[in-house]
Amino acid sequence: MAGVALVFPYFRTRAPTEMLFPPLGAATLAAQLRGRGVETRVFDCTFSSMERLRADLAASAAEIVGVYSMVSLTRNALAVAQLAREILPGSLLVAGGPLPTVFPGRYARHFDAVFRGEADLSFPRFCRDYLAERATSATMGRLPLDGYGGLFVPDHGSPVDNPAVHHPESELATFPLPDRRDFDHAAYQRVWREKTGFQPTSLIVTLGCPYGCDFCSKPIFGNDVRRRPLDAVLEEVDQIRALGYDSLWIADDTFTLDAAYLQDFCRRIAPLGLGWTCLSRANGVQPDSASLMKASGCKRVYLGLESGSQETLRLMNKQLTVAQGVRAAEVYRAAGIEVAAFFIVGYPGETTATIEATFALALSLPLDEISFNVPMPLPGSRLFERLGSPDEGKDWTRENEITFVYPSDIDEAWLRRRVDETMAEFAARPRRPADAGARLTPAPG
Ligand code: B12
Ligand code: SF4
């Protein structure tokens, strides 16, 4: 072959918190690459192994190897880069995804080039031109490198450091649907079925989030909210159903923000009889939207309530009041939708009293699932910048751990015990079905 190989370097860990979805970034880029006539292979490592990847990559003889990375996949991405150098020494190594976007210089030590941000157009155009020119890493300077949005190549004659792009809605409307043909859908569906009885898969409907939470990092979609045309979304949903999935896990940062668009989505998806879940901001939740969501198949919403202390919410720049969070949980439950809530405990500046307020809030609300995490200072977030140098010795690859990766005044053993106690108390509560009609408190002014 030749052409491009895209590697998603996540290998199944079987951690209890593990959630498996085919990687949409690879599917998105594969559709754009194939649309330009570029031969493309996708290697999703979720159900694979390093040995198999070695054989697959060698057989592909790809001229360009593109590797996705994010904070939890750093080690794997670098191991894949090393492997590719060894077995395909002549091929061009390119990194992309959230962490290369934040730290292009660090990735450029291991890769020939880095694409920052939304690479839907720039990376496929670059690959097409590179292959057409029969370029190599030494000669790619012949290409119009300044013209590929987000490209970062530090030492190529004159360094290339193009700003990342955010595609406007008009451009998104012209994009092909993600190409999901390369994934082991049967394996994904089996894992979900065994765990939950359902077979969901992820999709992206809107891009971006206008808020600026202190702990959040949004290196790819940023603050600029864009909506995909619903015709394209519905066409994608049809493809997803044809692949055997029975429900949708909407991966948007803030799917419920635009009430008119949300309601349109609900009206159009309702006749399909699919179940779906999404993340929702807790402010501005409207009972009429919630009822439509329920009627259209929404089973569960995930709310980032974060804290039971207003002072801590302020430290987090959450732009949310505790009362709004309470109201959101009640509105969704009253509509018959299950509610899961995320909380962060041990935020820098917190006291044991504010942490206890969070445990008390979690236990007081009509919730169906709760989770507690200590702050994970994500590269690209303000929290990360403020904390300066996190402890490099800590293992950042572990998901959802109550372990501080920076010095904290909070006693970790105490926190872990209180989280365990709160989780046990939550599990022992009598559980009301979501339809049981929670009573609404008045909307906060
Ligand atoms: C879905 C999702 C998940 C799913 C992943 C499923 C899967 N197989 O993809 C699940 C729920 C498992 C998950 C878990 C976690 N996630 Co997550 N996740 C997301 C989410 C919401 C959407 C990702 C997505 O599908 N995007 C849509 C596609 C089209 O975009 P994309 O992947 O970014 O691809 C584009 C570019 O990045 C680029 N690109 C992608 N690949 C490549 C490859 C090459 C070669 C090139 C050039 C370009 C390129 O081009 C694409 C098109 O523009 C993002 C938030 C977001 N809005 O991006 C967070 C996000 C990626 N997750 C994040 C985090 C922190 C985690 C966890 C560590 C959380 C935790 N504490 O447990 C875990 C880690 C788990 C793990 N497996 O390693 C962070 C990463 C931050 C960072 N700086 O690295 C994000 C950005 C959310 C956030 N703001 O905190 N996540
Ligand atoms: S945590 Fe959610 S609401 Fe806050 S900035 Fe990130 S995506 Fe937006």
Q: Return the minimum-mean-pLDDT range out of 29-43, 50-64, 347-361, 386-400.
A: 386-400
Bridge partner residues of 201 (DSSP): 248
Centre of ligand 1 from the C-alpha of residue 417, in Å: 30
pLDDT at 435 over 60: no
Q: Residue 211: CB within 6 Å of ligand 2?
A: yes
For domain 4-161, give its CATH number from 3.30.9.10, 3.40.50.280, 3.40.50.10190, 3.40.50.1220.
3.40.50.280
Q: What is the DSSP string of 190-257?
A: HHHHHHHS--EEEE--EE--S---TT---TTTTT--EE--HHHHHHHHHHHHHTT--EEEE--SSTTS
Instruction: Give 253 Cα–ligand 2 centroid separation in angstroms.
Output: 6
* Contact in structure between 301 and 279 (CB atoms under 8 Å): yes
Residue 412 CB contacts under 8 Å (≥ 6 apart), including other chains: 402, 403, 404
pLDDT in tens, 194-252: 999 999 999 999 999 999 999 999 999 999 999 999 999 999 999 999 999 999 999 99
Q: Which atom of ligand 2 is nearest to the CA of 212?
A: 5
Dist. CA 209 → ligand 2 center (Å): 6
Residue 399 to residue 392: CA distance in whole angstroms: 16
3-state secondary structure of 107: helix
Tell me the mean pLDDT in the region 343-367: 96
Pocket flag, ligand 2, residue 254 (CB < 6 Å): yes
The predicted-structure confidence for 107-130, as pLDDT tens digits, reads as follows: 999 999 999 999 999 999 999 999
Give the ranges where 243-351 is alpha helix by DSSP (H): 259-269, 287-295, 310-315, 322-334
CA of 102, closest atom in ligand 1: 83
Q: What sign has the CA pseudo-torsion 263, 264, 265, 268?
A: positive
User: What span, in angstroms and rounded, lies between the C-alpha atoms of 119 and 67?
Assistant: 13
pLDDT band at 158 (very low <50, low <70, confident <90, very high): confident
Q: How far is the CA of 358 from the centre of ligand 2 (A)?
A: 19
Sequence-distant (≥ 6) Cβ neighbours of residue 78 within 8 angstroms: 110
**pLDDT value of position 15:** 87
| pLDDT tens sequence across 319-335 | 999 999 999 999 999 99
CATH of 198-436, one of 3.30.470.20, 2.120.10.90, 3.30.70.1140, 3.20.20.70: 3.20.20.70
- What would the two tokens of residue 34 be? 């194939």
Confidence check: pLDDT of 416 > 90: yes
- pLDDT of 400 reads 46
Ligand nearest to the CA of 228: 1
Protein residue with least CA distance to atom 68, ligand 1: 72
Q: Which listed ligand is nearest to 254 at the C-alpha?
A: 2
Give 409's pLDDT tier (boundaries 50, 70, 90).
confident
State the ligand closest to the CA atom of 5: 1
pLDDT of residue 368: 96
| Atom 13, ligand 1: residue with shortest CA distance | 19
Give residue ranges with CB within 6 A of ligand 1.
Answer: 10, 19, 21, 23-25, 28-29, 66-68, 70-73, 94, 96-99, 102, 115, 118-120, 123, 202, 204, 216-221, 251, 253, 376, 378-380, 399-400
**Residue ranges per structural domain of the chain:** 4-161, 198-436
